Amino acid sequence: MPERWDVIVAGGGTAGLAAARSASKEGGKVLLLELRAHLGPPAHSGSLVSSDAGILVKRAVAQRLREIKLHAPHRELTVDYDRGMIVDLGRIDEILAAEVAENGGEIWLNAPVKSLLMEDGVVRGVHIEAGGWSENIRGEVVVDATGARGDMSCLFLSEVLRKGWKREFLAFYNEYLMVNASDEKSAEVFFDSYLAPGGHAWVYPLTKGLAVSGICGLRIHPDAALDEFLGRREIKRLTRAVPIAASRGQLPLEGPLSQTCGDGILAAGGAAGQIYPLSGQGLQYSLRCGEIVGRVAVDAITEGDVSKERLSEYDRVWRSEFGRDFEIGKVIYSSLSVSRDQKMDALAAVLDGRPGLQRAFVDLFLGFNLASSARTLLKDEEISKIFGGEVIKLFNRR
């Protein structure tokens, strides 16, 4: 075991594994530390991603969608939609972990990072603690990929920036993995401010007989909200289904941090707030940001300069690739948060019988083809009115 690692990655989710893969591929000595006893989600878990996703994501497809059912509070729409697929998150993590190992990277499980080792404001490594065991581990660069879900997440935010997520944008979620669901090739999304204020609920098909159903919203108790949602909605495909696993946590919807690196440290994925506010999508951003982080970290180490200034190359690259996505997502999210139920009903009414606009709305909600879907929608006068002045301004600006 090296006495000093090049790159220490805290967190073995998608962002951390992508960072470890990229840094180890670039020749860095990489150690990934995961707090739990396993990588990946606790059981199978499905993520809805664009069918344009890269090859890695395509290797983990669980279900290709044919349609998406949108449930506004008092109206429903079934949208013919083949641009989305449900991927098995655990499978993606397995593929990434195998590549980390192949490149010579090390993965330690049951290794919770308790704090960062700081010297004169520079991050020099991490302190891990589990049971009676504790250790300081030193490295040239630390990558915070601890996500945003739990109490031990977000080391960069809490210890370097000395902040927390803004409460008004902090959603809470619970998601069940369910067995004995009937098979359908559609995903369902529910907007209902009573059960999911500022958020939504969903049902996604996974592989045969499996489905995931979840809810996220502001100021909710997610466990009670999910049970109430399932009880009230009586979703047909879940009539005989039962949950066999649950995962809960928090999901910041405020958009990315204004700064994602410091001296000796970079943050990627949920820990950097790289989550699309409108729907909470983040898998693609985590993968890509992890990849950039790994490369920038190893280049900086090779040049002997791991200062914040040098590492800010990462910040520039990811913002130029998709910083605008988060900006658009946040403005639309804020606009639709006011009188949300009325707006979702009004949108469903305008979209009724207009398949092109329906697909553009689903794209916009999921963050796919964002700029073009928003422009398509804004050409319609009624939709422009529903979205409001701030959204229109955003598109008139450039």
Ligand X SMILES: Cc1cc2nc3c(=O)[nH]c(=O)nc-3n(C[C@H](O)[C@H](O)[C@H](O)COP(=O)(O)OP(=O)(O)OC[C@H]3O[C@@H](n4cnc5c(N)ncnc54)[C@H](O)[C@@H]3O)c2cc1C
Q: Is 322 in the site for ligand X (CB under 6 A)?
A: no
For ligand X, which is the closer residue by CB, 198 or 386?
198
Burial 305-334 (b: 16+ CB within 10 A, else e): ebebebbbbbbebbeeebbebbbbbbbbbb
Provide, rounded to whole angstroms, the least separation between the CB of residue 263 and ligand X. 20
The number of residues that bind ligand X (CB under 6 A) is 38
The single residue among 7, 23, 30, 49 that binds ligand X, judged by CB under 6 A, is: 49
For ligand X, which is the closer residue by CB, 142 or 391?
142
Provide, rounded to whole angstroms, the least separation between the CB of residue 374 and ligand X. 19
Q: Is 143 in the site for ligand X (CB under 6 A)?
A: no
Nearest alpha carbon to residue 103 among 35, 27, 158, 40: 27
The single residue among 153, 158, 335, 358 that binds ligand X, judged by CB under 6 A, is: 153
Q: Is 255 in the site for ligand X (CB under 6 A)?
A: no
Burial 207-233 (b: 16+ CB within 10 A, else e): eeebbbbbbbbbebebeebbebbbeeb
DSSP line for 61-98: EEEE-SEEEEE-SS-EEEEE--SEEEEEHHHHHHHHHH
Q: How far apart are CA 269 and CA 284, in angstroms?
A: 9
Nearest alpha carbon to residue 116 among 133, 145, 149, 138: 138
Q: Is 267 in the site for ligand X (CB under 6 A)?
A: no
Q: Is 33 in the site for ligand X (CB under 6 A)?
A: yes
Sign of CA dihedral 357, 374, 389, 334: positive
Q: Is 214 in the site for ligand X (CB under 6 A)?
A: yes
The stretch among 64-72, 99-107, 147-155, 304-312 that binds ligand X (CB under 6 A) is 147-155
Q: Is 270 in the site for ligand X (CB under 6 A)?
A: yes
Provide, rounded to whole angstroms, the least separation between the CB of residue 271 and ligand X. 6
The contact mask relative to ligand X for 5-24 (x = CB under 6 A, - = no) is -----xxxxxxx--------
Residues forming the site for ligand X (CB under 6 A): 10-16, 33-36, 47-49, 112-113, 145-147, 149-150, 152-153, 173, 175, 214, 249, 251, 269-271, 275, 280-284, 286
